[in-house]
Amino acid sequence: MSTRRVPVIERIMGANDTQAADNRRIFDEHGVHVVNIMAAPGAGKTSLILETVRRLQGELRIGAIEGDVASTVDTDKVRAGGAPAVQINTGGGCHLDAKQVAQSLNEFPLDEVDLVFIENVGNLICPVGFALGEHTRVAISSVPEGDDKPYKYPKIYANVDALVINKIDLLPYLPFDLEAFQKLVRSLNPDIELFPVSCVTGEGMDAWTSWLQNLARAE
Q: At closest approach, how far in Å is the CB of 103 from Mg ion?
A: 20
Residue in 99, 104, 97, 108 with CA at minimum distance from that of residue 130? 97
Stretch that binds Zn ion, among 19-27, 49-57, 120-128, 187-195 (CB under 5 A): 120-128
Instruction: Centre a 10 Å sphere on the Cβ of residue 76 and count the other Cβ atoms it contains.
Output: 13
**Which of 19, 123 has the CB closer to Mg ion?**
123
Instruction: Compute the C-alpha angle 149/160/15, nearest 5°.
Output: 115
| Residue 126 interaction partner, one of Zn ion, Mg ion, none, beta carbon < 5-8 Å per kind | Zn ion
Size of the site for Mg ion (CB under 5 A): 3
| Residue 95 interaction partner, one of Zn ion, Mg ion, none, beta carbon < 5-8 Å per kind | Zn ion
Size of the site for Zn ion (CB under 5 A): 3
Q: At closest approach, how far in Å is the CB of 132 from Mg ion?
A: 16
**Which of 52, 100 has the CB closer to Zn ion?**
100
Question: What proportions of the chain, in percent to the nearest 5, are helix, strand and coil?
Answer: 50, 20, 35
Q: Looking only at Cα atoms, what is the longest distance across the chain?
A: 56
SS3 118: strand
Strand partners, 195: 164
Cα-flanking dihedrals φ and ψ of residue 108, to 5°?
Answer: -115, 130
CB 219 within 8 A of CB 32: yes
Q: At closest approach, how far in Å is the CB of 39 from Mg ion?
A: 9
Chain positions 34 to 63 lying near Mg ion, rule: CB under 5 A, are: 45-46
Position 74 contacts Mg ion (CB under 5 A): yes
Position 95 contacts Zn ion (CB under 5 A): yes
| Residue 45 interaction partner, one of Zn ion, Mg ion, none, beta carbon < 5-8 Å per kind | Mg ion
CB 167 within 8 A of CB 176: no
**The binder of Zn ion chosen from 21, 70, 94, 180 (CB under 5 A):** 94
- Applying CB under 5 A, the residues found at the interface with Zn ion are 94-95, 126
- Applying CB under 5 A, the residues found at the interface with Mg ion are 45-46, 74
